[in-house]
Amino acid sequence: MRVIFNTLTLFFFLYSINGEITNDRYYPMYHAAPPFGWMNDPNGFARFKSEYHLFYQYNPDSSLVPGTAAWGHMKSSDLVHWQHLPIAMYPNNTYDRSGVFSGSALIEDGKMYLYYTAHINHPGETPDHEENQALAISEDGVNVVKYENNPIIPGTGRQPDIRDPKVWKHGDTYYLVLGNKFKRNGTELGRVLLYASKDKYTWEEKAILDESDGWLGYMWECPDFFQLGGYFVLLFSPQGVKPEGDKYRNLYQCGYIVGRFDYKTLKFTPVTEFQELDHGHDFYATQSILDDKKRRLVIAWLDMWETNYPEQNDGFTGQMTLPRILTLTKDLRLLQRPVPEIRAARADVICTGQASGGTSVTLANKAGEVNIRASASNDLELFIEGETASVVIYYDATNGQISLDRGGEDGLRRTEWRPKYLLKITIYIDASSIEVFCGDGQVTFSSRYFTNGPVSVRLGDSSKVEQFRVINMKRTVPIN
Ligand code: FRU
């Protein structure tokens, strides 16, 4: 009896530390985040019965470690106001006992078909894990039932890293892509495999969509493949790309290759090199959908593996980027614009009009939107300052570069950007993140930063701005 009592007390004690946000200083006001616990990749992003659903890799037991991943779940009617829903899937079957890993959703006949990776660890064995693909179905968008004959795509044993199914339908056929690691002449390389099915349950491997030549890394995670602007985009998160100057500076990358694809031959022919999608420190494991407005929306984990997570002592870890609309330019680059629905998170305008160097505004709750319009022929410097950390955004007109520097070791991220006449920058500041959108979305930076105390936005001394608008943002993500 005493043993039971002690175990129960310990359980409730642990639950109460881990089951709530103990300090809200870093908890996002309007970026999707878990109610508590650890969150990584977005999963099963979908539009279902007039609402957006977002699942995510989730450890409800602790914000300190990814743990054994479950699928957390939230929904929204506008991509801005999020509501937490019960955990959708637990790693509680023999075949997914070490993690219900990342995957995606197919909506058909009023049902959600959720494809995911069933991960199993085999400690001390070679290989030390296996990955099979599994299916779960939801009829009401809340209760999720795993398919009785799982797994539906068995791993071969040869290639233990094979995961993150992204599913879609074209004509009368279903397709999915998987990220995979394979070996050639002893070298590990990443690739994307294409599968097809006529019934959603029985799948056949059909093609290798693309693979690393070594330079593009040893493993490709979270692949996505979709048509856009007359081309096809292969979007994925390669691991093992080495830094080159200002490029590929994060531990892992996230980027895309544009090409042509023929559904008859299932051959993907790249026409561009790999390009990074975002230039900040924290952008990984994207997932896109085509919504009911025929917009190609993308969302990413606004975070990175193996880094510092200062928020984890406050009861949560991880947040998502704002959902963005993707379009393709004539020169085959992806533009990213925040969904216009984000305006619903605006509160009061605290500053608007022309502004010169030294202008400074303090945000009400560390959360704001900043719109800048200036001449592209002058430099611009903007400081986002808190008590214990600050971020500098710097546009260098002479060299045609834009940078974000969050200070500390490896604080600088920089890339080329040469706007013609108008310098147009929009910045979303939240309690522990900054998203910068340059021009029409030619360049974006997504980075976390952690400061205590109030946050101010200040124009550098020699900066001159035609239009400087700062808006407080309100809470659209509930905090418990
Ligand atoms: C990407 C990833 C996926 C995997 C998941 C596990 O961040 O490593 O490849 O399915 O996270 O949580």
**Nearest-atom index, ligand 1, CA of 179:** 9
Pocket of ligand 1, candidates 58, 121, 164, 218: which has the most ligand atoms within 8 Å of its Cβ, to mutate?
164
Pocket of ligand 1, candidates 38, 39, 40, 104: which has the most ligand atoms within 8 Å of its Cβ, to mutate?
40
What CATH number has the domain spanning 7-340? 2.115.10.20
The pLDDT tens digits for 277-320 are 999 999 999 999 999 999 999 999 999 999 999 999 999 999 99
Question: What six digits make up the tokens of 423?
Answer: 């310098």
CATH 2.115.10.20 domain extents, the chain? 7-340
**Nearest-atom index, ligand 1, CA of 221:** 9
Q: How far is the CA of 250 from the centre of ligand 1 (A)?
A: 16
Q: What is the pLDDT at residue 98? A: 98
Question: What six digits make up the tokens of 215?
Answer: 């330079």
Q: What is the pLDDT at residue 65? A: 97
40 close to ligand 1 (CB < 6 Angstrom): yes
Q: What is the pLDDT at residue 156? A: 72
Is residue 4's pLDDT more than 90? no
What are the Cα distances from residue 187, in Å, to 86, 125, 128, 194, 240?
42, 21, 18, 22, 12
pLDDT over 90 for what percent of the chain? 95
Burial call 126-138: b when 16+ CB within 10 Å, e when fewer = eeeebbbbbbbeb
Average pLDDT over residues 194-210: 98
Is residue 8's pLDDT more than 70? no
Question: 341-473 falls under which CATH superfamily?
Answer: Exo-inulinase; domain 1 (2.60.120.560)
CA torsion sign for 163, 324, 386, 464 is positive
222 close to ligand 1 (CB < 6 Angstrom): yes
285 close to ligand 1 (CB < 6 Angstrom): yes
**Nearest-atom index, ligand 1, CA of 119:** 10
Q: What is the pLDDT at residue 13? A: 41
331 as an active site residue: the answer is no
Q: Of 37-41, 425-429, 476-480, which gets the smallest average pLDDT?
A: 476-480
Is residue 432's pLDDT more than 60? yes
Is residue 16's pLDDT more than 70? no
Q: With beta carbons less than 8 A apart as the criterion, state whether 440 and 395 touch.
A: no
Higher pLDDT, 187 or 15: 187
437 close to ligand 1 (CB < 6 Angstrom): no
Q: What is the pLDDT at residue 18? A: 57
Q: How far is the CA of 68 from the centre of ligand 1 (A)?
A: 11
Question: What six digits make up the tokens of 87?
Answer: 């955990």
CA 86 to CA 96: how far, in whole Å?
A: 19
Read off the pLDDT band of 11 (50, 70, 90): very low
Catalytic residue among 41, 161, 278, 314: 41
Q: How far is the CA of 57 from the centre of ligand 1 (A)?
A: 8
* CA 330 to chain centroid: 25
CA 230 to CA 215: how far, in whole Å?
A: 28
254 close to ligand 1 (CB < 6 Angstrom): no
Question: What six digits make up the tokens of 426?
Answer: 């929009």
Q: How far is the CA of 252 from the centre of ligand 1 (A)?
A: 12
CA 232 to CA 271: how far, in whole Å?
A: 10
CATH 2.60.120.560 domain extents, the chain? 341-473
- Give nearest CA residue, ligand 1 atom 6: 101
Q: How far is the CA of 39 from the centre of ligand 1 (A)?
A: 11
pTM of the model: 0.95
**Nearest-atom index, ligand 1, CA of 252:** 7
Q: How far is the CA of 354 from the centre of ligand 1 (A)?
A: 45
Q: What is the pLDDT at residue 157? A: 63
**Nearest-atom index, ligand 1, CA of 222:** 9
CA 9 to CA 278: how far, in whole Å?
A: 46
98 close to ligand 1 (CB < 6 Angstrom): no
Q: What is the pLDDT at residue 356? A: 95
Q: How far is the CA of 222 from the centre of ligand 1 (A)?
A: 7
451 close to ligand 1 (CB < 6 Angstrom): no
Is residue 377's pLDDT more than 60? yes
